[in-house]
Amino acid sequence: MVIDRQKIIEAFRDYVSAYNAEDPKIKLKIDHTYRVASLCERIAAGEGADVELSWLCGMLHDIGRFEQVRRYGTFNDALSVNHAEFGADLLFCEGLIEKFADGLSEEELGIIETAIRYHSVYRLPEGIPESRLSYCKLLRDADKIDILYVNCMIPPKDIYDIPEEQFKTSEVSDEVKQCFLNGTTVLKSLRKHPADYLVGQVCLAFEIEYPESRRIAKEQGSVEKILSFEPENEATAEWFGYMRANIWNIIEAKYNTNK
């Protein structure tokens, strides 16, 4: 596949120029978009996928976020709209894709729509064609790698609006610990204590599927930075030590078992 990247970047800049780039939420998603596109490119190159198509999926994956903020003032899907479905609808039901997809085949368009529509679901639905499934997984990997990065750049007290002292003295729920031991992500409904949110951040790494993606995540070091948190609660400090010692072993065991 051959695309005109500069044209797509210019189209993206033109689209987001309608939103306030001085709004931290908008700037966050502009920067996130470029990083995810770059990660998609790197993962695709390492896994033998179409690099250009993967990069384009990354460039368009969060297109719904900008209008979500303008209409609802939040990135919280539960309080507004499912941003992934919203973005896919803007592109493929309302015609926004025409700004970016000159000359793409029906199959390529289908891959992009499917990858965007399902990039934020807890689990991918059954029945996605294999030709599209790999791009869904690739985009989800890239998105999670950058979310881990962003979680390192912003203090937890600012992300969750919880005082830092509450994180330091917090315990960790048994249900959340079990998610870690099982190698699964943590549902929001299971998070009862401030430290549960930090464990939930770390558990995103369990859903990074491709070997090249995990290599990049390790190289980035975001998981280790989140786990460098030093709780004052003795039991929580012991648990964080356990996670630091075992997370990559659990991840590799999970995917070696699934081969």
Q: What is the pLDDT of residues 35-79, one digit of tens each?
A: 999 999 999 999 999 999 999 999 999 999 999 999 998 888 989
Contact at 8 Å (CB) between 53 and 74?
no
CB 204 within 8 A of CB 251: no
Fold observed for domain 5-144? Hypothetical protein af1432 (1.10.3210)
> pLDDT higher for 102 or 72?
72
**Residue 242 tokens, joined:** 């356990």
Predicted TM-score (pTM) of the model is 0.93
Q: Is the pLDDT of residue 258 over 70?
A: no
Query: Residues with Cβ < 8 Å from 7, sequence gap 6 or more?
Result: 102
Report the candidate in 137, 136, 143 with the shortest Cα–Cα distance to residue 35.
Answer: 143
What residue ranges do the domains of the chain occupy?
A: 5-144, 156-257
